[in-house]
Amino acid sequence: MLARNAGGELELEISIPLPGPLLSLVAVRRPGHDDSVLATAGPFASTRLLEYTGRDLQLVRDQPVTNNLRLYLAADIDADASLDLLGDCAANFSFGVPLILDYATASVQWQGPEQTAGVTAVQLDADPQLEVISRGQVGRIYDGATGMQEWAWPSGFGESVVGGRFETDPLVPGFVTQSFSGTTVFRASPYSPLREFLGLT
């Protein structure tokens, strides 16, 4: 659905049917292009990637992709000046395998070695590529260009992760994780937990 702000209230403009259950929805912003929306949808073992663009959400792509693909982010993860797609494929719709896909072809460029409950990518060091943060029973951080694991946290990263700068030194990047037991702030360079707020969810 596409809605617009009409005098402080959302007003429905367009409603587009999908070929089965919606698995994920992400926004794509590219300089010099109209914004796009990517959706993965479809019944089990028949997942499709759909791309809609422009004010009228014109369908410009409809192709089969890795089954049960869930997308979380469209960004230049490996710093090669082209867009990538970050997601996972979850056979049981819970834990899945983290993936980086080429934006143009949707072909898999990297597959993580461990299961994940969701992924995101943020800038955590001085090199241009992003770091992939994988949630799960063990939290893991991978280099966005090589796919090599940089760090692991045995307690996991909970249900959500947000990147940012939370140190006294504003030049030190980090991220915040949220779980049922509380919220934990981590720093990078070196990776370590800074503080925990129990019960803050």
The confidence score (pLDDT) of residue 8 equals 62
Query: pLDDT of 148-161, one tens digit each?
Result: 999 999 988 988 89
Determine contact, residues 174/107, Cβ cutoff 8 Å: no
- Is the pLDDT higher at 133 or at 196? 133
The confidence score (pLDDT) of residue 4 equals 53
Query: pLDDT of 85-121, one tens digit each?
Result: 999 997 665 788 999 999 999 999 999 988 888 899 9
Closest among 121, 22, 91, 103 to 60, alpha carbons compared: 103
DSSP 76: -
The confidence score (pLDDT) of residue 129 equals 96
Give the integer Cα–Cα distance in Å for 185 and 196.
Answer: 6
The confidence score (pLDDT) of residue 137 equals 84
The confidence score (pLDDT) of residue 168 equals 77
Q: Average pLDDT of 42-54?
A: 89
